[in-house]
Amino acid sequence: MRLLHAIDNMNPERGGVCQAVRTVISGLSEYEVANEVVCVNSPDEDFILKSDFKVYALGPSDKFWSYSAKLMPWLRKNFSEYDAIIVHGLWQYPSYAFEKIRKELEGRGDFRQNLPKLHVMPHGMLDPYFQTAPDRKLKAIRNKIYWELIERKIVNNADAILFTCETECLMARIPFKPYHPKEEIVVGLGVEAPPEFIPEMKVSFKEQCKGIENNDYVLFLSRIHEKKGVDILVEAYADLLNNGGKAKISASKIPKLVIAGPGLASEYGKKVQNIINHNPALKENVFLPGMLSGDAKWGAFYGCEAFILPSHQENFGIAIVEAMACRKPVLITNKVNIWREILNSDAGFVEDDTLIGVSNLLERWWALDKERKDDMAKNAKINFEEKFAISKASSRLFEVLSKSLTNMEGVDF
């Protein structure tokens, strides 16, 4: 099967969607699927040159709509060469371009019978959060207009909309009308098992996280972005350091906090750093090593007590699943779409995405004895293997794609 993945940006620093694409490609490779990617990055970007799958980088694109004049001509020439297509993400030029070319070719009798099925995987981009968040009022108006003019055609005309979990599917039905996709399919999203721990991982992490030494710590690893709730995490942590919380925990017994990820140079990142720098207790106990990758990333996961992600909206949370794969309990909010799976498997704690909720996450974790923490760690690993291992999601997606082929005869899997 020759499968094309379309995405605006494959830069790993963008997090979620591009990481999900890489994960999907890795899983489908087990089925001898020929995965190819078209994006609008510049072809000389390092992450493009080092990709271990075929990438057609047709950028550079503009900043605001990911527009590239090269994409439409490329699609006219290559669209019908694929057995299936998945458009990852919405609200950008690539999804518009694919729908426009599909409609154009569908109108030609010589192409109609040979067109691949077009699937859209929104990766949480239809979540009501983006229309209701207080800081997104202007963007919400823009999205509503864009939906009426463009996006509803893409969603409603695609052969199927693919979702990473049941909650995402249900939430996608809320914010926009008319919303009537031809088919909604929950395919899941798996995560590759992490590499086995080696001492070099710990060394690499410590080299990037200066001063952490052998201290216990709770890990946040994601983009430093307002949606991730980093500011309330820092505020909740500061309150516990200064006051000890309800249990009056001694500051000396509270683990350090590592906040790792790209985005420190953004306005929001500078705001978070300013909060830390103006609080002596935070400055001494919070570490900001920046984006971690390779051994340093896995060293951070394997070395932490628990993983925390206090997001206001999270479609899936790849880092959450990676933490569980490393046998780490996870502390998350009920705005993470896989929160039910976490709660039902006793793999961590779930609270509201508020200051009180995040404070409760930290306090509840620190109140546990070692035996209870160990039990939760075992459950986290089991939950990963039973629900989020890449093999399960890949099998489901391959089944969906196989059934959707326009002409099954003569297709070599």
Distance separating the N- and C-terminal Cα atoms of the chain: 5
Number of separate domains in the chain = 2
Instruction: Kindly state whether residues 180 and 231 are assigned to the same domain.
Output: no
Mean pLDDT of 217-239: 96
- pLDDT at 325 (0 to 100): 97
Q: Does residue 322 lie in a domain region?
A: yes
- pLDDT at 412 (0 to 100): 39
pLDDT of 254-297, one tens digit each? 899 999 999 999 999 999 999 999 999 999 999 999 999 999 99
Backbone angles phi, psi at 111, to 5 degrees: -105, -25
Instruction: Kindly state whether residues 361 and 262 are assigned to the same domain.
Output: yes
Q: Does residue 411 lie in a domain region?
A: no
Instruction: Kindly state whether residues 305 and 156 are assigned to the same domain.
Output: no
Q: Does residue 410 lie in a domain region?
A: no
| Token pair of 186 as six digits | 């929950």
Question: Is the pLDDT at 212 greater than 90, yes or no?
Answer: yes
Instruction: Kindly state whether residues 225 and 87 are assigned to the same domain.
Output: no
Of all residues in the chain, the percent with pLDDT exceeding 70 is: 94
Instruction: Kindly state whether residues 132 and 219 are assigned to the same domain.
Output: no
Q: CA quadruple 221, 381, 321, 351: dihedral positive or negative?
A: negative
Instruction: Kindly state whether residues 186 and 226 are assigned to the same domain.
Output: no
- pLDDT at 135 (0 to 100): 87
| Token pair of 115 as six digits | 């067109």
- pLDDT at 320 (0 to 100): 96
Amino acid code (one letter) for 78: N
pTM for this predicted structure: 0.84
- pLDDT at 248 (0 to 100): 64
DSSP letter (8 states) at residue 191: B
Question: Is the pLDDT at 245 greater than 80, yes or no?
Answer: no
- pLDDT at 73 (0 to 100): 97
Give the chain's largest Cα–Cα span.
Answer: 74
- pLDDT at 394 (0 to 100): 93
Taking Cα atoms as reference points, which of 320, 412, 400, 408 lies closest to residue 120?
400
pLDDT of 307-363, one tens digit each? 999 999 999 899 999 999 999 999 999 999 999 999 999 999 999 999 999 999 999
Q: CA quadruple 347, 132, 91, 259: dihedral positive or negative?
A: negative
Mean pLDDT of 382-401: 92
pLDDT of 17-30, one tens digit each? 998 999 999 999 88
Question: Is the pLDDT at 408 greater than 50, yes or no?
Answer: no
Instruction: Kindly state whether residues 50 and 118 are assigned to the same domain.
Output: yes
Neighbouring C-beta atoms of residue 77, cutoff 10 Å? 10
Q: Does residue 326 lie in a domain region?
A: yes
Higher pLDDT, 247 or 169: 169
Q: List all residues 6 or more positions away from 253 whose beta carbon is below 8 Å from its beta carbon.
A: 366
- pLDDT at 413 (0 to 100): 33
> Radius of gyration over alpha carbons of the chain, in Å?
22
Stretch (H or E) spanning 308: strand 306-309
Instruction: Kindly state whether residues 252 and 361 are assigned to the same domain.
Output: yes
- Domain range spanning residue 39? 2-190+391-404
Instruction: Kindly state whether residues 235 and 351 are assigned to the same domain.
Output: yes
Residues forming a β-bridge with 162: 185
Q: Does residue 413 lie in a domain region?
A: no
Q: List all residues 6 or more positions away from 141 whose beta carbon is below 8 Å from its beta carbon.
A: none
Instruction: Kindly state whether residues 146 and 261 are assigned to the same domain.
Output: no
Q: Does residue 412 lie in a domain region?
A: no
Instruction: Kindly state whether residues 114 and 169 are assigned to the same domain.
Output: yes
CA dihedral 187, 297, 43, 82 (to 10 degrees): -20
Q: Residue 224 sits in a domain of what CATH number?
A: 3.40.50.2000
Residues forming a β-bridge with 296: none
DSSP 317-341: -HHHHHHHHTT--EEEETTBTTHHH
Q: Which strands sit side by side in the sheet containing 54-57, from one edge to the other?
A: 54-57, 34-39, 2-6, 84-88, 117-121, 160-163, 184-186
* Whole-number Å distance between alpha carbons of 12 and 325: 20
Taking Cα atoms as reference points, which of 194, 205, 206 lies closest to residue 296?
205
Q: Does residue 346 lie in a domain region?
A: yes
Instruction: Kindly state whether residues 57 and 105 are assigned to the same domain.
Output: yes
- pLDDT at 247 (0 to 100): 62
Neighbouring C-beta atoms of residue 38, cutoff 10 Å? 24
pLDDT of 98-152, one tens digit each? 999 999 998 776 555 678 999 999 999 999 999 999 889 999 999 999 999 999 9
The structure tokens 């709730």 sit at 229
- pLDDT at 246 (0 to 100): 67
* Vertex 176: Cα angle to 40 and 183 (nearest 5): 75
Question: Is the pLDDT at 48 greater than 50, yes or no?
Answer: yes
- pLDDT at 178 (0 to 100): 95
- pLDDT at 32 (0 to 100): 83
* Whole-number Å distance between alpha carbons of 209 and 260: 9
DSSP letter (8 states) at residue 151: I
